[in-house]
Structure 1
Amino acid sequence: MKWASALQDYCNYLRIERGLSDNSITNYRLDVVKLINFLSVKNIEVSPIQISEEILQQFIYEIAGDVNARSQSRIISGLRGFFNYLVFEDYRKDNPLDLIESPKIGRKLPDTISTEEIDLLIATIDLSKAEGERNRAILETLYGCGLRVSELTELKISDLFFKEGFIKVTGKGNKQRFVPVSEYTQKYINIYKDEVRIHQKINKDASDTLFLNRRGNPLTRAMIFTIIKRLAEKAGIQKKISPHTFRHSFATHLLENGADLRAIQQMLGHESITTTEVYMHVDRKHLREVMEQFHPRR
């Protein structure tokens, strides 16, 4: 078995059997490509079926000097998934990464911004330009619904159920969920949709996509990052802000105001409550208030 065919089969498995998004598949593919490139540079001729734990240890030692512990851990996890697939398909009897430990990494607390900073970012938008209303609707949707950037770019007009107060979101692994949307957020989506978007020349394939670029095509993830980066620079905010910052802020502010962790988990689309629990560590002030309110020795 050659690496190219094994990698292609693995990507097909991730897409068809696991239902992963193109972005996730690309990341898993790159992990295996890093290993293939290492073998090429070192002139190590070995197939995916024959490669040993010792060679993989050598590869991991090599990348340890180039990437941080978190990236190293992610690459090991990606490769472990690839070899688990080969075991699953009976190409191998064992996973050579089973005995290789990932580096210990601390839990990274998510970056957040305050409501004042969110208001400042939105106030910085130039509404005299055609894309102004669109950009305001984008930021209000990211913060108002806690969406991932890919969920935002793939949001459809047919996913808007404003009478019921929800939007339908397609998350990781094509899993769908309904997220509440406030009348405040609905207002800015409707302004963009009914007063700006309606005047655009829209490509047929993008007719149902909500947020479009000037050429009538869906916005890319990179464009959303660029929009937010430019607004942060214009607003003079020194923090590193990305689309995910709005998602983290959405969850943190809900928690600070007394929202139930399970409800936040459902809105964010987290499979495990453990993933959502990271927000419990973000605001110590909130934890202290809970203690003072509910502990019998307060």
Structure 2
Amino acid sequence: MSRQAHPSDALNAVFRPVQEQFELWLQSQSEAVATQSLYATVSRTALAWLPERAVADAQSISVSDMSAMVVFFGGRYQPGSMRTVVSALRVLCRFLEESGSVTGLSQAVPAQMVRRVRSVGVVPADGIDALVNSTDISTPMGLRDRALLLLAARTGLRPVDIAGLRLRDIDWAQAKITLVQHKTGAVLTLPLLADVGEAIADYPLHGRPVGGEDDHVFLRSHAPYVGLRPCDSLYWVASRAFARSGTITQNGTGRGFRVLRASFATRLLEDGTLLTVISGALGHRTIDSAKHYLSTDETRMRACCLDFAGIAPRGTRS
């Protein structure tokens, strides 16, 4: 018989209880389950690294240790991901400070980190139509993929929420979709637009495998007929559509469902929709999460540029 490994097995006898107490403390902070898991992963890596720096226990962690830890994580993660990492480290420092182990550690963690190093990849409205219409609706897989693409393009739902959509989440009589977001744990209600509803209905009526017990709306096209995985399954649905239609994003990057989410937000911006409304439609907790979509509104961004009036040149090149 084999013993299944525990995620905290890499921690020694001193830091493993600290990790367990931290995870219990996270549960009391009303964070979403996905956020708790992410913070626990970062803290587990951090606590496992401390003995390499000759830190014996939690009480011995110094400000310089935390600074070195940020540098350590910087070598493991991309710049965009470091924003989440430093957030997790700040939460870990707050736990250590509240538990009385140490004081002043939070000062060693940067207050801000870059979120993106390039602009958001989006496609115009005609590009969205090309992606949706590239599917072969004479096949069950084509019916499914068309419904998936249209749902993402018209609602801006996250890929994980699209993959997790259940039959009970759709209220056909009231024409709305209500679900619990995987990332935030908050309830989100969206209108079920006519074209989206028709595409989703066509799939269970003419293409969805029958006889299965899985209640996910979208299932694998081959046995076992279970729900799709948001990472690889949905990516390949979008990637194939990009390849078939020849569609490329505005900045030439991205071929997944997050491009459709960003394109949805961009269209709302172009129509003059308030950022607070866009943030609510995308299921964000705060308006800050939607601000990076502002970079895609090129027309209004150009209006923010300053001229050189009042700036006297120091000299000219010969």
TM-score of the aligned structures, taking structure 2 as reference length? 0.77
What does 1:159-238 align with in structure 2 at a 5 Å threshold?
159-171=169-181, 172-197=183-208, 199-203=209-213, 206-207=214-215, 209-213=216-220, 214=222, 215-222=224-231, 223-238=233-248
Specify which of 16, 21, 43 is matched with residue 33 of structure 2.
Answer: 21
Specify which of 250, 260, 263 is matched with residue 249 of structure 1.
Answer: 263
- Secondary structure of 1:177's counterpart equals strand
What does 1:251-270 align with in structure 2 at a 5 Å threshold?
251-270=265-284
Per mean C-alpha deviation after superposition, the further-off stretch among 174-183 and 214-223 is: 214-223
CA shift for structure 1 position 57: 1.7
Unaligned runs of 5+ in 1: 290-298
Q: Residue 141 in 1 paired to residue 141 in 2?
A: no
CA shift for structure 1 position 82: 1.9
Higher Cα Rg, which structure: 2
Shift in CA distance, 225/103, structure 1 to aligned 2, threshold 3 Å: same
Shift in CA distance, 192/26, structure 1 to aligned 2, threshold 3 Å: same
One-letter code aligned to 1:184: D
Mapped to 2, the partners of 1:275 and 1:248 lie a distance apart of 12
Contact kept, 8 Å, 1:144 with 1:181, in 2: the verdict is: no
Mapped to 2, the partners of 1:228 and 1:144 lie a distance apart of 15
Per mean C-alpha deviation after superposition, the further-off stretch among 93-102 and 46-55 is: 93-102
Shift in CA distance, 104/29, structure 1 to aligned 2, threshold 3 Å: closer
Contact kept, 8 Å, 1:80 with 1:95, in 2: the verdict is: no
Per mean C-alpha deviation after superposition, the further-off stretch among 119-128 and 219-228 is: 119-128
Deviations 1:256-277 (A, max 9, x none): 1233333222211122223333
Q: Residue 11 in 1 paired to residue 23 in 2?
A: yes
Per mean C-alpha deviation after superposition, the further-off stretch among 223-232 and 257-266 is: 257-266
Contact kept, 8 Å, 2:122 with 2:259, in 1: the verdict is: yes
Per mean C-alpha deviation after superposition, the further-off stretch among 162-171 and 67-76 is: 67-76
Shift in CA distance, 250/98, structure 1 to aligned 2, threshold 3 Å: same
Mapped to 1, the partners of 2:191 and 2:300 lie a distance apart of 24
Contact kept, 8 Å, 2:66 with 2:108, in 1: the verdict is: no
Q: Residue 293 of structure 1 corresponds to which residue in structure 2? A: none
Contact kept, 8 Å, 1:147 with 1:247, in 2: the verdict is: yes
What does 1:48-87 align with in structure 2 at a 5 Å threshold?
48-87=58-97
Deviations 1:38-88 (A, max 9, x none): 335x36242234322212222223343454433334322211112323334
CA shift for structure 1 position 95: 5.0
CA shift for structure 1 position 140: 0.8
Specify which of 122, 131, 135 is matched with residue 125 of structure 1.
Answer: 135
CA RMSD of aligned residues (A): 2.8
Mapped to 2, the partners of 1:196 and 1:106 lie a distance apart of 40
Q: Residue 34 in 1 paired to residue 45 in 2?
A: yes
What does 1:108-119 align with in structure 2 at a 5 Å threshold?
109-119=119-129
User: Between Structure 1 and Structure 2, which shows a larger proportion of helix residues?
Assistant: 1
Deviations 1:192-234 (A, max 9, x none): 122222x42323xx22x21122322111112112221232233
Contact kept, 8 Å, 1:72 with 1:102, in 2: the verdict is: no
Q: Residue 312 of structure 2 corresponds to which residue in structure 1? A: none
- Secondary structure of 2:218's counterpart equals coil
Mapped to 1, the partners of 2:291 and 2:82 lie a distance apart of 24
Contact kept, 8 Å, 1:125 with 1:135, in 2: the verdict is: yes
Mapped to 2, the partners of 1:14 and 1:194 lie a distance apart of 43
Identity, % of aligned positions:
20
Q: Residue 92 of structure 1 corresponds to which residue in structure 2? A: 101
Q: Residue 282 in 1 paired to residue 291 in 2?
A: no
Mapped to 1, the partners of 2:279 and 2:75 lie a distance apart of 36
Shift in CA distance, 66/141, structure 1 to aligned 2, threshold 3 Å: same
TM-score of the aligned structures, taking structure 1 as reference length? 0.82
Contact kept, 8 Å, 1:73 with 1:102, in 2: the verdict is: no
Contact kept, 8 Å, 2:64 with 2:108, in 1: the verdict is: no
Contact kept, 8 Å, 1:14 with 1:20, in 2: the verdict is: no
